[in-house]
């Protein structure tokens, strides 16, 4: 479902080039929850953001559900990204829009007709247990509730893939657990393949079927937790 083939990313900093990600590969099967763990600066976020071309790889190829994203033009990429949801550490909600409008926004961008949009917004807020908060603004919600709105937004276009960048790092342990349960439910009920970056090993152990360890811009290890003999 997700294939990163020999992707790398270099940034120019002053006169120097920094290797954020060195040529590295990762394959995630449909229905899996792939964790990426490692220390700060290891390249996790850059790797994740290359999976939907939020960061353009310096080299290498990205495939989602058999389609090579790195070969698409801008219009085709916009279309392909609709099947890739993303959530962030700091939620990235529009603060002057209601929860419902935050979710509806991505449906509008996908040219979904108004009546269908309203129905889908309701469904998505229902899935994350926030149907009653539709008309509230992000500032009126707790951190966990904001992340649930972000999950509802990410689900709106029925994605095949959900990319999660430190989704619980701003949350307390109890709220973290509830967000992980929602991610698990989305994976199970809607067969959404998940790739999740975290520096919190407990989060990865709680949620992920596979855990890749990143160090110095490369994946150094891939642990398959569905095989109990190598349970980390």
Which residue in the block uniquely carries the two structure tokens 């539709």? Answer: 134
Strand, helix or coil at 97? Answer: coil
* Closest approach of ligand ADP to the CB of residue 217, in Å: 7
Contact residues for ligand ADP (CB under 6 A)? 11, 13, 18, 20, 38, 40-46, 54, 86, 88-90, 92, 165
Contact 77, 69 (CB under 8 A): yes
Residue with smaller CB distance to ligand ADP, 17 or 132: 17
* Closest approach of ligand ADP to the CB of residue 135, in Å: 22
Q: How far apart are the first and last CA of the chain?
A: 24
How does strand 210-215 pair with strand 67-68? Answer: unpaired
Contact 47, 216 (CB under 8 A): no
* Closest approach of ligand ADP to the CB of residue 227, in Å: 26
How is the beta sheet containing 193-198 ordered, strand by strand?
84-87, 161-165, 193-198, 33-37, 210-215, 218-224
Residue with smaller CB distance to ligand ADP, 41 or 173: 41
What residues contact 15, with CB distance under 8 A and at least 6 apart? none
* Closest approach of ligand ADP to the CB of residue 142, in Å: 18
Residue with smaller CB distance to ligand ADP, 179 or 231: 179
Residue with smaller CB distance to ligand ADP, 40 or 115: 40
Contact 62, 51 (CB under 8 A): yes
* Closest approach of ligand ADP to the CB of residue 73, in Å: 17
- DSSP, res 226: T
Residue with smaller CB distance to ligand ADP, 42 or 151: 42
Residue with smaller CB distance to ligand ADP, 1 or 218: 218
**Which stretches of the chain are DSSP H helices?**
44-50, 74-81, 99-109, 114-127, 143-155, 173-190, 201-207
* Closest approach of ligand ADP to the CB of residue 87, in Å: 9
* Closest approach of ligand ADP to the CB of residue 47, in Å: 7
Contact 90, 45 (CB under 8 A): no
Residue with smaller CB distance to ligand ADP, 20 or 121: 20
CA distance 139 to 134: 13
């Amino acid at each position: 479902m997700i294939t990163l083939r020999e992707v790398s990313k270099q940034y120019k900093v002053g006169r120097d080039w920094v290797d954020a990600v060195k040529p590295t590969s990762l394959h995630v099967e449909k229905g899996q929850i792939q964790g990426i763990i490692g220390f700060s600066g290891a390249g996790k976020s850059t790797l994740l953001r290359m999976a939907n071309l939020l960061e353009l790889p310096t080299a290498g190829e990205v495939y989602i559900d058999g389609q090579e994203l790195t070969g698409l033009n801008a219009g085709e990429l916009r279309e392909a990204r609709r099947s890739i949801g993303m959530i962030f550490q700091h939620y990235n909600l529009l603060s002057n829009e209601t929860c419902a409008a935050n979710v509806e926004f991505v449906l509008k961008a996908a040219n979904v007709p108004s009546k269908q949009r309203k129905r889908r917004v309701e469904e998505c807020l229902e899935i994350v247990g926030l149907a009653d908060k539709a008309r509230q603004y992000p500032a009126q919600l707790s951190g966990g509730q904001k992340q649930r709105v972000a999950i509802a937004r990410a689900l709106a276009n029925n994605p095949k893939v959900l990319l999660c960048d430190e989704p619980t790092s701003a949350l307390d342990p109890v709220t973290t657990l509830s967000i992980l349960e929602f991610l698990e439910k989305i994976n199970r009920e809607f067969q959404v393949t998940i790739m999740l970056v975290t520096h919190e090993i407990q989060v990865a152990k709680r949620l992920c079927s596979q855990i890749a360890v990143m160090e110095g811009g490369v994946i150094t290890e891939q642990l398959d937790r569905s095989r109990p003999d190598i349970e980390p």
